[in-house]
Structure 1
Amino acid sequence: MKNIAHNNADMKEGKNTAIIAYCTIIGLIIAFILNSSKKNPFASFHLKQSLGLGLTGLTLYIIGKVPYVGGVLNLLGLAILFYMWVMGLMNAINGAEKPVPLLGNAYKELFKNI
């Protein structure tokens, strides 16, 4: 597991795009567009993490629609998701290439072709 971007130049160049990726779904789309022409490894890493968080949030929304137990699972899941989002954003701000807690390595593997 890498804690630092591939190199300092990649991190500096992709840092703004990585941060934007964590700012709502619109930010994620903008970050994908910004990173599409010149694939920055640092930005790409955080795009994958943010995309995974977004899809996890969508899954939690669907689970929340299940009567009785769905609401409780949704609330618990959203609290954990918020923690994961904060950690991902802080990693992007600090120039660290660390997966978000719990599901970050799964996101990295799931979106390795993006």
Structure 2
Amino acid sequence: MNKKTLSILSYITIIGWIIAYVKSKDLTPKSDLVNYHLKQGFGIFLLSLATNIILSIVVTIVPSLYFLSYVGYAIFILWIFGIINAVNEQKKPIPVIGQLFENKFDFIN
């Protein structure tokens, strides 16, 4: 797989991320682009997981706050931005939250 494919795959579910992570180890020389998108993809996955768990608990306790579930759509839109950046082969952070993940997840390098 080439670096563009691996970058895109890093956003497609956690299984796609694992495949991209394993295949990125085979690349020579190592691709900064793939590592960057692996970090961004892992970050958005963790954010969406935490948001869904928290919102499920909050909406279960206080059903009148059901409108908070629309936060999931915002995360989906940010995920789309990440895929677009990967398709264009740009090392550009996901809007609003992407900079949080740039220097995290050292195991990806």
TM over 0.5: yes
Q: Which runs of 4+ in 1 moved over 4 A?
A: none
Q: How many residues align?
A: 101
1:17 and 2:11 equivalent? Answer: no
Q: Structure 2: state its 5+ residue gaps.
A: none
* 1:26 corresponding residue in structure 2: 15
The share of aligned pairs that are identical, in percent, is 34
Aligned mates of 1:19, 1:50 — CA distance in 2:
9
Q: Structure 1: state its 5+ residue gaps.
A: 1-12
Q: TM-score, normalised by structure 1?
A: 0.79
Structure having the higher Rg: 2
Aligned mates of 1:106, 1:26 — CA distance in 2:
23
1:56 and 2:56 equivalent? Answer: no
- AA aligned to 1:27 is G
- AA aligned to 1:50 is G
Deviations 1:25-76 (A, max 9, x none): 1100100001123331100000000000000011012112222276433x23
